[in-house]
Structure 1
Amino acid sequence: MNDMAKTKPYGSWLSPIDAALAAAHDGHPAFVGFVGDEAWWTEPRPVEGGRRALVRRRPDGAEEPVLPAPWNVRSRVIEYGGLPWAAVARPGDPRGPLLVFAHFTDQRLYAYEPDVPEAEPRPLTPLSGVGGGLRLADPQIRLDRGEVWCVLEEFTGEEPTDVRRVLVAVPLDGSAAENRTAVRELSDGRHRFVTGPRLAPDGTKVAWLAWDHPRMPWDGTELLVADVGADGTFDGARVLAGGPGESIAQVDWARDGRLLYVSDRSGWWNLYRAAPDGTATALCPREEEFGGPLWQLGLNWFAPLDSGLIAVVHGTGASALGILDPETGEVVDAAGPWTEWSASLAVHGTRVAGIAASPRSAYEVVELDTRTGRARVIGAAHDDPVDPTYYPEPQIRTFLGPAGREIHAHIYPPHHPGHVAPGDELPPYVVWAHGGPTTRAPLVLDLAIAYFTSRGIGVAEVNYSGSTGYGRAYRNRLRGQWGIADVDDCAAVALALADEGTADRARLAIRGGSAGGWTTAASLTTTDVYACGTIIYPVLDLTSWQGGDTHDFESRYLDTLVGPYADVPGRYEERSPARHADRITAPFLLLQGLDDVICPPAQCELLLERMERRGVPHAYIAFEGEGHGFRRADTMIRALEAELSLYAQVFRLDPAGGTPTLELVK
């Protein structure tokens, strides 16, 4: 801390991290892959309407977009999407690489040759006017057959659950662009959900994952293997592993033709190698996670190398990139400052590419040379937009909750290089409840957090019961307890911070989006811990949400989080914040995308109806063109500034630099 630091109250510190800066750095690269010697990946463009650009790294190190705006490389399969592109280098072919990608606007699959002058993307799949249409994800290009193998999501009616998913082969010649019957189906459609097919090195077998309602993929999945006929058909599909109580998160083939998969049968997602009869051996049995929740199709936590070694993302509550020797079980981790690795790995020869971040750096594309052990940033390099002394200095903490259970959290105290608060003042704190809820808050640099901490407002990210990264037992603590265990855990952390003198008990807030919005709203209806809250694209009414108000993927999620509706209908009523608006006494801000099909605006409207004339200050901001998760810069700017204004009004702060005043109605 600067010896000349000025004493100013919390919440009044002048920060160079404004909402526009935080919005410009929102999101991170994803879905990295090699195309010949080049690394390619997708990247967010908040100032370009929130599109996802596909970027390539040329051999000379230059980064450039593969497709110009407005092309948006993003799939909507299961609404959360998945791997939206595949490309092959075609060495010796003067046309260069061939790219296949899903375009967000119409969800058609397109083929494109970026190195061919004047080339334009050409559609490979048709449009459909039924329901949500045709959507595709997790493509694998088969040049030998002139096809793309991928997952097809096909709506058969107007309801969100009128849908089927199958593995298909899409002709590369464009013959299916106007003809659905030209899309060849590979699987029998008997499973509600499938992941993309993974072909064995000799081309004779294929493997994929499948699951059915009411399970979510982290509850139980099946690993299927089939023979591949000379005509490209799948024959004799059979279950090799998995079941209702075993989550298999990824499957792939080693270079020697043996099957590899990640399973949590031990209570932790570990890596296994299967014999032809299905007998499996754990390659590195540890109480660590070598996998995670399958929220998108095409995620991968491991990637087999030509040498027989396996690149793995693993850890407990955090993650590292390691190289696993499957014969000895030894893992050697890559050196470097990164403490969090995404579920996106690609290999090429002795090179491994991944996406990593740390508390001092945002996500960037990193390459590891397994020959030398050297890791370096090769794309989307973090570049400090402000002096890093303004970044928060997080603490990894474990608190005790109800019944003495452990609660993991990241605490970000207020931090500013030029300011301190009066010695007799305790700081305001905002509890951040992550979405999912079956995921976790990673310990990485987030300028949205820095936006608050650099102004003198602390943030506590709580990985409450149900979060991933700590084993299946920790995840299962939320079964039947959604709206209770998550609420209790967040409150326990907030009150512990107040009791130990870290936070001001009278100036505690809570915020979250999606499932975190649910936890926020549920906290405001069932506790008196918080002075206010920010509720972002939330679940608010369980009865309507499970009754058709959401998309198919999560339409039975509540069976495990709350309990089957037919068995416990009263529980759905009792826990829904929208049904108990009379219990809300703290001011709140409600933020919603009008195009959200996962947590639709009707949920917010129901709550607002019941808040009318209750005298509780609140505000509602709905954003046109935004879905589940804000992607446009102007949206994110307005949302952050409105949130800060809420805290300023409720906590009686005087933000420096000026912030638009949020109008609160009663």
Structure 2
Amino acid sequence: MNSIGAVARFIGLSLMAFLFGCSKAPESAPVVAPQPQPSFTPYGSWSSPITASAVYSAFSAIGELQSSGDMLYFVESDPAAQGQSGIKRLDSNDNVIQVVDAQFGVGSRVHEYGGAPFLAIGNSIFATKMADQRLYRIAPNQPPVPLTPEGTRQADCVFFTKGSRILCVREDHRVDGEATASLVAVNLNQPGEGEVYLSGQDFFSSPTINPSNTQAAWLTWEHPNMPWDNTQLWRGELDKKGAIIQPQQVKLPTNGAIMQPQYSPDGTLYFIADFDNWWNLYRINAMGNIEQVTQLTGEIGGPAWGLGRNDYAFESNQHVIVGLQQQGHLDLLRVDLDSGVSETLATDFASVKQLISHQGQVYFVGAKETPERGIYRVTGRGTELVYAPEIAAVEPSYIAKPVSMSFTTADGSTAYGLYYPPTNPNFVADTGSLPPLIMMLHGGPTAAASAAYSGDIQFWTSRGFAVFNLNYRGSTGYGREFRRSLYGNWGVADVEDAIYAAKYLVQQKLADPEKLAIRGGSAGGFSVLAALAFHDTFKAGTSYYGVSDIEVLAKETHKFESRYLDQLIGPYPQMQQTYRDRSPLYHLDGLNEPLLLFQGLEDKVVPPNQSEMIYRGLVDKGVPTAYVAFAGEGHGFKQPQHNILALETELAFYGRVFGFTPAGELPSVPLQNAQVLAR
């Protein structure tokens, strides 16, 4: 809590330093070239080189890493290909070449959120194509060959090296009702149905095979659980053809969210579990008993929204490399597997993902509070950057640094977040004025605000906005109990935390109480709508594909999340009235603040009708409301031009609502009932 006061003092002292620094220097002082004096310009009106185009036009994201022989393969999106993804290869000399063009469009939709879309075997790639979800064999100098039938989705594949087949997670959408899940063997040389090895559970994930090709392990879970609630760990023997025989569920000490089973080089099965409230590392010893390897007060990994997470990797039989989240801070650690003692390798990463063992070393995808990001390699007691994707250069003086903080919220609980002050070397605001605030809400709602450099956050702060990236109750990184504290309270606790955070920042003179905006996507978008419908703290809101009617969502959403609301709110239809009580669509009488809505028309997670219903209701009521829909976009926008238009439109929207003139040429806001703002 004191950290917020420190930010306020820092801003004040910085201004004083500037003013006093303008006085004549003593004669003994060295001659320094005069610096341009900042212009006194209202918050929100500052011009910035961090444009929406700079944020998205040159931004490529790195996905899964995978080792095959002496080559390291990885997925990378390409802005020039409308955000589609291809596959690149890093050789032993750290040279990078493209092996699958981004126009092919690699991507999985298993569980809708996808992940783990390819498997590399030698020089061949087996990749799922986003457009049709079929698995293709892509060999050098040959056209891609589809191996799996239409209507099926395959991902998270592993190779049985003794046979010409791979084991994949499959969703079969050719059946009536819910898609059926299975583990299926796909023949590498012959297209066809493949052979279903295991089925009968609601969900499968994370198949892995031991080094000797004699045993496999995998995870399952059943409705209404999500993979961060309660999962089951299984093992089975492999016959000579790779078929799983004698599958047995591993007996665990208690229920919990088990993740990422992996065999060590010596064949010991490890996994992550939150049995002691924190996601720690466990293993099954030679006697078949469960042993806790780490006892860290922090989280190794996060919720498995997508397949293919790798949050630890074996450096040897003796050591494992992990990324540990603690109270919003991340450390890269080397852990001794015998003693559990950890050694810190790096503290300057804000995000560490996709840890993988390759050629006796550990590689990972890392990001920092600065724009630096890419693929790193662990070297001795440190790390080195081996590949950096294309990024737009940013002058450091424009970058707002996050301040981690905690604050007291409803019922004496604690919530967390990252505060970013307005930062631009060319401008200061008039003394006594306060910046507009953008309260950012992540999705999930079990995701987490990250301190990793985010171009869209810097877009706002460099224009004179303050940003608070909220980790409300239910967020990951603070233990199982904190994560589950949102259960039964979705639409209440998360909204309370946003309200209390805004009021606290106002109390600390870090935000203008008349210029408080709230924005969020997906579950965060729902919280935006609920905050506006049930409270009057925020003066404007922006919802990206947010939920307005929870009851409709319970009836229409996809299989993966079709029972998630049982946890977040309660079983439906038994608690139908609670669903309606929490739905912003049924409480438009309380929603009077201007609202901006963005929606992808191909969204299968939160269908477009969720935005369309509340848009029509508010327009009819006379509330200033704008709705921008993007054809060809799903749950989260991929095409750079759509992200650019959304960000610029949002800036123009806040200018209209809060009465300032943003710098630069911006698109018009399709605002209905705009005349209300002039009253």
With the shorter chain as reference, the TM-score category is over 0.9
- State the shift of 1:144 in Å: 2.2
Within 1, Cα distance between the matches of 2:554 and 2:287? Answer: 40
2:519 aligns with one of 504, 511, 534 = 511
Mapped contact 2:60–2:390 kept (Cα < 8 A): no
Give the 5 Å matches for 1:13-24. Answer: 13-24=46-57
Structure 2 SS opposite 1:77 = coil
More off after superposition, 421-430 vs 382-391: 382-391
1:56 aligns with one of 73, 80, 89 = 89
Structure 2 SS opposite 1:538 = coil
2:118 matched residue in structure 1: 85
Structure 2 SS opposite 1:87 = strand
2:336 matched residue in structure 1: 325
1:440 matched residue in structure 2: 448
1:408 aligns with one of 400, 413, 416 = 416
Summarize deviations over 1:500-526 as a string: whole Å, max 9, x none. Answer: 111000100000000110110111101
1:37 matched residue in structure 2: 70
Mapped pair 1:590 → 2:597? yes
Amino acid across the alignment from 2:643: M
- State the shift of 1:58 in Å: 3.4
More off after superposition, 456-465 vs 372-381: 372-381
Within 2, Cα distance between the matches of 1:472 and 1:523? Answer: 25
- Note the residue ranges of structure 2 that are not aligned, 5 or more in a row: 1-13, 22-36, 674-679
Mapped pair 1:172 → 2:188? yes
2:128 aligns with one of 98, 102, 109 = 102
Structure 1 SS opposite 2:502 = helix
Mapped contact 1:250–1:291 kept (Cα < 8 A): no
Mapped contact 1:137–1:152 kept (Cα < 8 A): yes
1:75 matched residue in structure 2: 108
Structure 1 residues 99 and 63 mapped into 2: Cα distance closer, same or farther (>3 Å)?
Answer: same
Structure 1 residues 384 and 303 mapped into 2: Cα distance closer, same or farther (>3 Å)?
Answer: same
> Number of residues paired by the alignment?
639
Amino acid across the alignment from 2:397: T
Mapped pair 1:204 → 2:203? no
Mapped contact 2:45–2:662 kept (Cα < 8 A): yes
Mapped pair 1:426 → 2:426? no
Structure 1 residues 53 and 469 mapped into 2: Cα distance closer, same or farther (>3 Å)?
Answer: same
Give the 5 Å matches for 1:189-338. Answer: 189-242=199-252, 245-275=255-285, 278-316=288-326, 317-335=328-346, 337-338=348-349
- State the shift of 1:400 in Å: 0.8
- State the shift of 1:622 in Å: 0.5
Amino acid across the alignment from 1:82: G
Structure 2 SS opposite 1:609 = helix
2:61 aligns with one of 28, 46, 55 = 28
Summarize deviations over 1:419-439 as a string: whole Å, max 9, x none. Answer: 111111010001000000011
2:539 matched residue in structure 1: 531
- State the shift of 1:412 in Å: 0.7
Within 2, Cα distance between the matches of 1:235 and 1:395? Answer: 53
- State the shift of 1:185 in Å: 1.2
2:24 matched residue in structure 1: none
- State the shift of 1:277 in Å: 5.4
2:530 aligns with one of 498, 522, 543 = 522
Mapped pair 1:135 → 2:153? yes
1:186 matched residue in structure 2: 197
1:466 matched residue in structure 2: 474
Give the 5 Å matches for 1:335-484. Answer: 335=346, 337-342=348-353, 344-369=354-379, 372-381=380-389, 383=391, 385-484=393-492
Structure 1 SS opposite 2:613 = helix
TM-score calculated relative to the size of structure 2: 0.91
- State the shift of 1:141 in Å: 2.4
Structure 1 SS opposite 2:299 = coil
Within 2, Cα distance between the matches of 1:253 and 1:307? Answer: 10
2:171 matched residue in structure 1: 153
More off after superposition, 602-611 vs 435-444: 602-611
Within 2, Cα distance between the matches of 1:647 and 1:496? Answer: 22
Mapped contact 1:312–1:321 kept (Cα < 8 A): yes
RMSD: 1.7
Mapped contact 1:249–1:292 kept (Cα < 8 A): no
2:668 matched residue in structure 1: 661
Structure 2 SS opposite 1:70 = helix
Within 2, Cα distance between the matches of 1:633 and 1:562? Answer: 35
Structure 1 residues 69 and 301 mapped into 2: Cα distance closer, same or farther (>3 Å)?
Answer: closer
TM-score calculated relative to the size of structure 1: 0.93
2:146 matched residue in structure 1: 123
Mapped contact 1:289–1:471 kept (Cα < 8 A): yes
Within 2, Cα distance between the matches of 1:69 and 1:358? Answer: 26
The runs of at least 4 consecutive aligned structure 1 residues that moved more than 6 Å come to none
1:93 matched residue in structure 2: none
More off after superposition, 524-533 vs 324-333: 324-333
Amino acid across the alignment from 1:36: G
- State the shift of 1:258 in Å: 1.5
Mapped contact 2:185–2:195 kept (Cα < 8 A): yes
2:621 matched residue in structure 1: 614
Structure 1 residues 242 and 362 mapped into 2: Cα distance closer, same or farther (>3 Å)?
Answer: farther
Summarize deviations over 1:300-355 as a string: whole Å, max 9, x none. Answer: 1112234432122222133332221111111223236323212x111123311101
Mapped contact 1:359–1:445 kept (Cα < 8 A): yes
Within 1, Cα distance between the matches of 2:608 and 2:653? Answer: 21
Within 2, Cα distance between the matches of 1:37 and 1:336? Answer: 29
Amino acid across the alignment from 1:565: Y
Within 1, Cα distance between the matches of 2:322 and 2:394? Answer: 33
Within 1, Cα distance between the matches of 2:88 and 2:101? Answer: 10
- State the shift of 1:158 in Å: 5.2
Summarize deviations over 1:52-76 as a string: whole Å, max 9, x none. Answer: 1212223443323211241111111
1:111 matched residue in structure 2: 137
Within 2, Cα distance between the matches of 1:241 and 1:267? Answer: 19
- Percent identical pairs in the alignment equals 35
Mapped pair 1:639 → 2:658? no
Within 2, Cα distance between the matches of 1:286 and 1:313? Answer: 11
Structure 1 residues 480 and 357 mapped into 2: Cα distance closer, same or farther (>3 Å)?
Answer: same
Within 2, Cα distance between the matches of 1:360 and 1:219? Answer: 34
Mapped contact 2:62–2:75 kept (Cα < 8 A): yes
Mapped contact 1:362–1:382 kept (Cα < 8 A): no
Within 1, Cα distance between the matches of 2:129 and 2:561? Answer: 23
Mapped contact 2:73–2:120 kept (Cα < 8 A): no
Within 1, Cα distance between the matches of 2:252 and 2:495? Answer: 32
Mapped contact 2:369–2:452 kept (Cα < 8 A): yes
2:44 matched residue in structure 1: 11
- State the shift of 1:561 in Å: 0.4
- Note the residue ranges of structure 1 that are not aligned, 5 or more in a row: 90-96, 128-132
